Amino acid sequence: MPLQKLQFKPGVNRDQTNYTNEGGFYECDKIRFRSGYPQKLGGWLRYGDITLKGICRQMFNWITSFSDNLLALGTSKKVYLEGGGFLTDITPLRATFVSPATDNCFDTTIGLNLVNVNIVGHGATAGSFVTFSGVVGPIGGIPQAEFNAEFEITSITDADNFKITTTTAATSTATGGGTAIVAAFQINIGNDISAIGYGWGAGGWSRLGWGSGALTPVVDIQRDWFFGNFDNDLAMNIRNGAIYYWTYNSSFNTRATLLSATTINGVAPSDVPDEATQILVSQNDKHLLAFGCTPYGGGQFDPLLIRWATQDQPNVWTPLVTNSAGFLRVSRGSQIVCAVATRQEVLVYTEGTLSSLQFLGTADVFGIQELADNISILSPRCVAVVNNTAYWMGHDKFYAYSGRVETLPSTLRNHVFTNLNYEQADQIVCGTNEGWNEIWLRYLRPRAWHK
């Protein structure tokens, strides 16, 4: 019998069994198909001697007018700026305490390197960061240099006391530090993952108000960052949190600050939203937009409200006849999940609709039009835009939008959505690999699947 060449069909098909999928691939690991043949994926290279604190949830790259190639990295604990292989901590400060609140605030215990810090109303949480300066020592035998540093808070004793860990153990029990101590607290850390439970605290995240959430799930949302460059500067926000702004300087040694407290181009801030689901910079017309935010004049958070600052001035949100600041509201849905910029429009996703936000250039500034309903989207990160076409992951299928919404055919649909951990859908991330003309989706399988 002569030899016969076997020609396998490219791609992996899990919608059939391994017996019925004759002549094709049923399962694989770390391969891609190139010219119809499977090829091993390449490995990973470490980018410099850089270590991040916390789990990185977002990266954003932009190049300044001074040719600085910058990369912003938002983690569950900090915000960093990378340039030229060097990492700079630009995490915003939450509060700064000085004398007399910090006078002689350190208490050591003989034999321990766990130091108590007494600052009334510190407002910190365990795992958050504080930097001390102006400390005079030694204190209890611990050198002065060990106190004038950044610390990750070890534990919280009460509203007025917390503990830090030094390298050196104390040789005596003492209180001290002097009367010129400055304690700079960074914004409190966020969650590594999302968690759902039940209890009286449900009102904080579900917007129901205190005491109304006994039978309503408490949702602790993982810390997601959203970035957008405004010329050389960087705007950012925490999902369902405050908006921050980093002002460019050539040494990159300044921290981001609250946008509501930042003067830009000599103009003071006005009516900046207290919190937003997501910010986005509309680069074509230079507007900073907030999707799902607190309304103009303050009030209760509106998950369907869209607001924007006036053109070329990201800290001015007061709508006036003489500027282009304004707002509008998505007509259907219960909350904005995410917004993605394409070439000529901003796609706004709710849990069941897709709308197009477009710059009109008229007195209305922006207009919104619903493109599709009866769709779904799984997470704020599961969308990628390639060549002005958006691809994303829904609850039970894959979608694409290139002028109209279409369902993408997939021979892995049942396999993916049957083995998907919906409880951790927030961790689903979609990205592009331009070198291979690919879109990658990363998701978690249920824990039981791993056993």
Is 231 part of a structural domain of the chain?
no
Mean pLDDT over 341-348 rounds to 94
pLDDT in tens, 397-443: 999 999 999 999 999 999 899 989 888 899 999 999 888 889 999 98
Q: Give the separation between CA 25 and CA 412, rounded to whole angstroms.
A: 11
Token pair for residue 8? Answer: 């396998």
Residue 307: count other Cβ atoms within 10 Å of its Cβ.
25
Mean pLDDT over 262-283 rounds to 95
Are 29 and 105 contained in the same domain? no
Are 32 and 117 contained in the same domain? no
Are 34 and 116 contained in the same domain? no
Token pair for residue 90? Answer: 């630009």
Is 218 part of a structural domain of the chain?
no
Share of the chain residues as helix, strand and coil, in percent rounded to the nearest 5: 5, 40, 50
- With bands split at pLDDT 50, 70 and 90, how would you rate the model's confidence at 202? very low
pLDDT in tens, 37-55: 889 988 888 887 888 999 9
DSSP 446: P
pLDDT in tens, 110-137: 999 999 999 999 999 999 999 999 999 8
Q: Is the pLDDT of residue 257 over 90?
A: yes
pLDDT in tens, 226-238: 999 999 999 999 9
Q: In the Cβ-directed half-sphere of 34, how many Cα atoms lie within 13 Å?
A: 9
Q: Give the separation between CA 243 and CA 290, rounded to whole angstroms.
A: 9
pLDDT in tens, 372-390: 999 999 999 999 999 999 9
Total domains, the chain: 3
Residue 227: count other Cβ atoms within 10 Å of its Cβ.
23
3-state secondary structure of 448: helix
pLDDT at residue 186 in the model: 97
Mean pLDDT of the chain: 90
Is 1 part of a structural domain of the chain?
no
Secondary structure (H, E, C), 433-444: EHHHCEEEEECC
Residue 309 neighbours by CB under 8 Å, 6+ apart: 272, 287, 288, 289, 315, 316, 317, 325
Q: Give the separation between CA 294 and CA 228, rounded to whole angstroms.
A: 20
Where does a domain end: 186, 220, 245?
186
- With bands split at pLDDT 50, 70 and 90, how would you rate the model's confidence at 447? low
Where does a domain end: 186, 205, 240?
186
- With bands split at pLDDT 50, 70 and 90, how would you rate the model's confidence at 197? low
Assess contact for 241 and 279: CB atoms under 8 A: no
Domain that holds residue 24: 9-40
Are 13 and 97 contained in the same domain? no
pLDDT in tens, 76-104: 999 999 988 889 999 999 999 999 999 99
Are 20 and 98 contained in the same domain? no
pLDDT at residue 195 in the model: 66
Q: Give the separation between CA 360 and CA 352, rounded to whole angstroms.
A: 25
DSSP string, 174-222: EEE--S--EEEEEPPP-BSS-EEEESGGGHHHHS--TT--TTSEEEE-B
More confident residue, 36 or 198: 36
Is 304 part of a structural domain of the chain?
no
pLDDT at residue 212 in the model: 47
- What residue type is assigned to position 311 of the chain? Q
Mean pLDDT over 263-270 rounds to 94
- With bands split at pLDDT 50, 70 and 90, how would you rate the model's confidence at 450? very low
Where does a domain end: 134, 152, 186?
186
pLDDT at residue 342 in the model: 93
Q: What is the pTM of this model?
A: 0.89
Is 448 part of a structural domain of the chain?
yes
- What residue type is assigned to position 140 of the chain? G
**CATH number of the domain where residue 108 is located:** 2.40.30.20
- With bands split at pLDDT 50, 70 and 90, how would you rate the model's confidence at 211? very low
pLDDT at residue 219 in the model: 65
Mean pLDDT over 29-41 rounds to 88
pLDDT in tens, 274-332: 999 999 999 989 999 999 999 998 889 999 999 999 999 999 999 999 999 999 999 99
Is 99 part of a structural domain of the chain?
yes
Is 86 part of a structural domain of the chain?
no
pLDDT at residue 204 in the model: 43
Is 36 part of a structural domain of the chain?
yes
